[in-house]
């Protein structure tokens, strides 16, 4: 059995700080203090210039202003990027030599949620030590620097154009997309003005949906977490494939010409096998505790090492760096190609798949063959509060019995949510009926045991 614990920081979770707008900590007051605290800490790391970008949700304007004020009060200069994908902000932070980048986004969540993510000067997620330092600074009284030391703010020009050119550069120069009809779903999010242009400039015929953001419709019935409209549009238009990004552009799900969804595990397999064929694969592949067992077995057949990190792209990144590997990702579509960029990037990942299709002269449906996904069932068990289930004997016994029944053909995972009082019970195996039965039995035992200990 694998058990993943909960976060130890007060505000920062596995993907920054996130919550409902207007409820602590996602308030203008907190963002003011967060900007100040971040400015104080980051000033110790460099000259004190921070970039701020955001997705298209309406609350982004409010939080952008609050962060800007807090950073200025700490004496930090600010570069305002406007609506930009999360990976674009990582790229611009690195290439514009800023000390950090701040992303205002709740990724695939609805418009009434929002959040904050930070990137280091190298375009990677902030290390835990810096997040701890920012949280510690938040407990101090806010003090504004002298007027002649206040930070200045400026708009950064041509951010979209810079990022579009970068995306295009991640494909081999001899490869273009002429002859392909592609539907791209921008989730009414941060890629609405970028993703279609990347594909058009590479020669594809592009049909775009989810490209009319109004501040409230981000991820609403569109995007990588709700791909049905993309499926319908691909089938209706006779397109070769569809590309679905999430609200901030770091997540990718694809759809083949038959309307079949291609998830993050399959995308990871496609990219890895293509790198192997091009003799460009370095090291192994990193997935997470949630990666489908079929991916692990498919990579084993190719004699490629597969490692599992904790859930969260920051942990995938940590394992990639420690193992010397370049390719990793999550089932949800967060794919990291360190041989192309520094963080998970939905558009760059899509281009790697499209490049493989062109080079191999195969359809997306054909190129995903070679990996057989195993049935997987996950049940969320609510808890009255966060609890450590490691020492609860009934749960351990139930897990052991499930693992015995599955033998070598499956696995069991109990994972505490990093943002909610939930235990995620997941069972995976070759037999769908067996998997569903064992997941339900385990969830019942967890719920009963937790209730008795409450």
Instruction: Give the angle 230-232-235 at the CA atoms, nearest 5°.
Output: 105
**How confident is the model at residue 209, as a pLDDT?**
98
Domain that holds residue 304: 163-367
**CA of 346: how far to CAs of 63, 121, 244, 253, in Å?**
24, 21, 9, 8
**How confident is the model at residue 383, as a pLDDT?**
83
**How confident is the model at residue 44, as a pLDDT?**
79
Instruction: List, in sequence order, every residue forming a beta bridge with 2; answer none if it has no partner.
Output: 413
For residue 40, count CB atoms less than 10 angstroms from its CB and return exposed for 0-12, middle for 13-18, buried for 19 or more.
Answer: buried
**How confident is the model at residue 317, as a pLDDT?**
92
DSSP character for 311? S
Q: pTM of the prediction?
A: 0.91
**Cα gap 257→211, rounded to integer Å:** 21
Q: Do 74 and 100 belong to one domain?
A: yes
**How confident is the model at residue 4, as a pLDDT?**
43
Q: Do 387 and 402 belong to one domain?
A: yes
Q: Are 375 and 432 in contact (CB under 8 A)?
A: yes
**CA of 181: how far to CAs of 86, 138, 237, 266, 330, in Å?**
26, 50, 9, 21, 27
Q: Do 326 and 223 belong to one domain?
A: yes
Catalytic residues: 107
Q: Do 71 and 201 belong to one domain?
A: no
**Cα gap 218→108, rounded to integer Å:** 8
**Cα gap 73→49, rounded to integer Å:** 13
**How confident is the model at residue 46, as a pLDDT?**
65
**How confident is the model at residue 47, as a pLDDT?**
60
Q: At 35, which CATH number?
A: 3.40.120.10
Q: Do 136 and 77 belong to one domain?
A: yes
Q: Do 102 and 127 belong to one domain?
A: yes
Domain count across the chain: 3
pLDDT in tens, 303-350: 999 999 998 888 899 999 999 999 999 999 999 999 999 999 999 999
**Cα gap 353→161, rounded to integer Å:** 22
Q: 113-120 and 17-20 as β-strands: parallel, antiparallel, unpaired?
A: antiparallel
Q: Do 203 and 319 belong to one domain?
A: yes
**Cα gap 31→36, rounded to integer Å:** 8
**How confident is the model at residue 419, as a pLDDT?**
63
Q: Do 147 and 278 belong to one domain?
A: no
Q: Do 220 and 107 belong to one domain?
A: no
**How confident is the model at residue 418, as a pLDDT?**
66
Q: At what angle do helices 159-169 and 86-95 cross, to 10 degrees?
A: 90
Which of 123, 157, 191 is the last residue before a domain boundary? 157
**CA of 137: how far to CAs of 141, 216, 242, in Å?**
9, 33, 45
**How confident is the model at residue 434, as a pLDDT?**
95
Q: Are 231 and 255 in contact (CB under 8 A)?
A: yes
pLDDT tens digit at each of 454 positions of the chain: 444 444 467 899 877 899 999 999 999 999 999 999 999 998 877 667 999 999 999 999 999 999 999 999 999 999 999 999 999 999 999 999 999 999 999 999 999 999 999 999 999 888 888 999 999 999 999 999 999 999 999 999 999 999 999 999 999 999 999 999 999 999 999 999 999 999 999 999 999 999 999 999 999 999 999 999 999 999 999 999 999 999 999 999 999 999 999 999 999 999 999 999 999 999 999 999 999 999 999 999 999 999 999 988 888 999 999 999 999 999 999 999 999 999 999 999 999 999 999 999 999 999 999 899 999 999 999 887 777 777 788 999 999 999 999 988 899 999 887 667 888 999 999 999 999 999 999 999 999 988 877 6
Q: Do 105 and 183 belong to one domain?
A: no
**Cα gap 252→19, rounded to integer Å:** 22
Which of 367, 392, 415 is the last residue before a domain boundary? 367
Q: Give pairs for 193-198: CB < 8 Å, separation 24+.
A: 193/83, 193/160, 194/84, 194/85, 194/88, 194/160, 194/163, 194/164, 194/167, 194/249, 194/347, 195/243, 195/245, 195/249, 195/347, 197/160, 197/164, 198/164, 198/167, 198/168, 198/347, 198/351
**Could you tell me how far CA 445 lies from the centroid of its own chain?**
31
**How confident is the model at residue 3, as a pLDDT?**
44
Q: At 420, which CATH number?
A: 3.30.310.50
Q: Do 200 and 96 belong to one domain?
A: no
Per DSSP, helices labelled H in 280-431 are 293-301, 313-323, 346-360, 364-367, 393-406
Q: Are 412 and 442 in contact (CB under 8 A)?
A: yes
DSSP string, 89-104: HHHHHHHTT-SEEEEE
Which of 327, 342, 367 is the last residue before a domain boundary? 367
């Amino acid at each position: 059995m694998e058990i993943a614990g909960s976060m130890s920081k007060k505000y920062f979770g596995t993907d920054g700080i996130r919550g409902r707008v207007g409820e602590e900590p996602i308030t203008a007051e907190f963002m003011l203090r967060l900007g100040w605290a971040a400015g104080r800490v980051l000033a110790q790391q460099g000259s004190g210039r921070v970039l701020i970008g955001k997705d298209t949700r309406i609350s982004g304007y409010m939080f952008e202003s609050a962060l800007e004020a807090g950073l200025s009060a700490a004496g930090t200069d600010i570069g305002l990027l406007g609506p930009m994908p999360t990976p674009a902000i990582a790229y611009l932070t690195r290439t514009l030599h800023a000390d950090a980048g701040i992303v205002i986004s709740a990724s695939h969540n609805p418009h009434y949620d929002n959040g904050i993510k930070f990137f280091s000067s190298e375009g990677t997620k902030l290390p835990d030590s810096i997040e701890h330092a920012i949280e510690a600074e938040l407990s101090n009284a806010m003090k504004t620097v002298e007027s002649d030391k206040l930070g200045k703010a400026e708009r950064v020009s041509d951010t979209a154009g810079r990022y579009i050119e970068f995306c295009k550069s991640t494909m081999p120069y001899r490869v273009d997309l002429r002859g392909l009809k592609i539907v791209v779903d921008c989730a009414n999010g941060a890629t609405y003005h970028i993703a279609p242009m990347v594909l058009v400039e590479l020669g594809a015929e592009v049909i775009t949906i989810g490209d009319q953001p109004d501040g409230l419709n981000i991820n609403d019935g569109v995007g990588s977490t709700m791909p049905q409209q993309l499926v319908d549009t691909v089938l209706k238009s006779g397109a070769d494939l569809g590309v679905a990004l999430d609200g901030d552009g770091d997540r990718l799900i694809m759809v083949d010409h038959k309307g079949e969804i291609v998830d993050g595990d399959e995308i990871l397999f496609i990219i890895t096998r293509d790198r192997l064929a091009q003799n460009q694969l370095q090291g192994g592949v990193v997935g997470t505790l949630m990666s489908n067992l079929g991916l692990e077995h498919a990579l084993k057949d190719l004699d490629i090492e597969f490692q599992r990190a904790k859930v969260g792209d920051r942990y995938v990144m940590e394992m990639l760096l420690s193992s010397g590997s370049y390719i990793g990702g999550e089932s949800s579509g967060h794919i990291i190609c360190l041989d192309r960029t520094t963080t998970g990037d939905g558009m760059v990942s899509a281009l790697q798949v499209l490049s493989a299709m062109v080079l191999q002269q195969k359809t997306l449906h054909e190129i995903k063959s070679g990996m057989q996904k195993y049935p997987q069932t996950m049940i969320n068990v609510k808890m009255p509060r966060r609890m450590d289930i490691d020492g609860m004997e009934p749960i351990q016994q139930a897990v052991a019995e499930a693992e015995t029944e599955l033998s070598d053909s499956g696995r069991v995972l109990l994972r505490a949510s990093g943002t909610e009082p939930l235990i995620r019970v997941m069972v995976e195996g070759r037999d769908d009926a067996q998997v569903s039965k064992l997941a339900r039995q385990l969830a019942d035992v967890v719920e009963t045991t937790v209730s008795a200990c409450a």
